């Protein structure tokens, strides 16, 4: 091994050690501070107004609801767009490939937009434009839809996660060998049958991975929901898509910046962070399981 190789090996090892040390230190501090605060009541009780005691029940439910609505709104659109880009755009005549170039450019630009901009977009488009338009059409101008709520926050997060779903779906479909498509078409299958019965089962591992990663990103985002539906303190559970809600990420932000007694709220803060880390780990585990099962089926 020459000197350059040795320097590269030492530098790579040092970088790995730094990452492992930083990750272990952060996780260790979180465990040390947060585990004593965890109990059954912490997951079901509402936080108190002082942000010192109570639990994370409303924030946990709000995070689950906004993630479910985000997934239902964004994943089908993203997967369908990826299918069109990979399977139908190249065969859509003269204008199909050109339109696909424009769509890919738009998706790439969308992926680079800061998350806070998505929050402003959600406020301007979903809340003020769509919501107030519905109020004028259905509620005679009363502020029923044109206000921040669970529905608008979920749609904003769905737009945020679209690039990840679209890109991973397209790449997973493009990785399927063309020989499988040609064989299916050669025995009389239609393009639709080929896509849904041959291509998508083979591409399912990559698609599932992208979908779960997109869900994980959307579930942990805070900036897009600041203006579109998240509440700082709301002990009641939302019972309507138009209601505001609490969110675990926003609750962490509030505990760390707006608590009247930061030292007293530290156990609750770190316990909430620990729950967020556990959810992120769970989503990555689900992605790995789905990917491995899809590969076995394919």
All structural domains of the chain with their residue ranges: 1-37, 40-297
Interval 276-293: pLDDT, tens: 888 888 877 877 777 677
The reported pLDDT for the residue numbered 295 is: 65
What is the per-residue pLDDT across 213-229, written as a single tens digit (0 to 9) for each?
888 888 888 999 988 98
The pLDDT score that the predictor gives to residue 245 is 93
User: In CATH, which superfamily holds the domain spanning 40-297?
Assistant: MetI-like (1.10.3720.10)
**pLDDT surpassing 90 at residue 267:** no
pLDDT for residue 296: 66
DSSP symbols for 46-60: PBPTTSSSB--HHHH
With a pLDDT cut of 70, the percent of the chain lying above it is 97
pLDDT of 32 strictly over 60: yes
- Cα-Cα-Cα-Cα dihedral of 296, 194, 206, 89, to 10°? 170
Cα four-point dihedral sign 116, 117, 118, 121: positive
Residue 294 has pLDDT above 70, yes or no: no
| Mean pLDDT of all residues in 12-40 | 89
Q: Cα(248)–Cα(226) distance, rounded to whole angstroms?
A: 12
- At residue 183, does pLDDT exceed 60? yes
Percent of the chain scoring above 90 in pLDDT: 30
C-alpha–C-alpha distance, residues 200 and 29, integer Å: 43
Confidence (pLDDT) at 234: 87
- Spatial separation of the C-alpha atoms in residues 287 and 152, rounded to whole Å: 27
């Amino acid at each position: 091994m020459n000197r350059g190789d040795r320097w590269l090996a030492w530098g790579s090892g040092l970088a790995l050690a730094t990452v492992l040390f930083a990750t272990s230190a952060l996780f260790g501090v979180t465990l040390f501070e947060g585990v004593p605060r965890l109990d059954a009541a912490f997951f079901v009780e509402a936080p108190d107004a002082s942000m010192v005691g109570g639990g994370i029940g409303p924030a946990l439910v709000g995070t689950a609801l906004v993630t479910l609505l985000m997934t239902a709104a964004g994943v089908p659109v993203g997967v369908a767009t990826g299918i069109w880009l990979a399977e139908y755009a190249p065969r859509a005549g003269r204008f199909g490939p050109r339109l696909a170039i424009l769509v890919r450019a738009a998706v790439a630009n969308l992926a680079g937009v800061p998350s806070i901009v998505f929050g402003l977009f959600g406020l301007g488009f979903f809340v003020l434009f769509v919501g107030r338009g519905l109020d004028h059409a259905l509620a005679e101008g009363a502020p029923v839809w044109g206000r921040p709520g669970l529905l608008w926050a979920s749609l904003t997060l769905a737009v945020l996660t679209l690039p990840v779903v679209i890109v991973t779906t397209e790449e997973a479909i493009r990785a399927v060998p063309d020989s499988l498509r040609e064989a299916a078409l050669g025995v009389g299958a239609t393009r639709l049958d080929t896509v849904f019965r041959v291509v998508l089962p083979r591409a399912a591992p990559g698609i599932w991975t992208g979908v779960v990663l997109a869900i994980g990103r959307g579930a942990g985002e805070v900036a897009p929901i600041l203006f579109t539906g998240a509440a700082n303190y709301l002990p009641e559970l939302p019972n309507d898509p138009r209601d505001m809600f609490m969110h675990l990420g926003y609750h962490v932000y509030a505990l760390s910046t707006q608590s009247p007694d930061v030292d007293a709220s530290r156990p609750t803060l770190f316990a909430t962070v620990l729950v967020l880390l556990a959810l992120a780990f769970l989503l990555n585990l689900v992605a790995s399981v789905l990917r491995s099962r899809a590969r076995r089926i394919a």
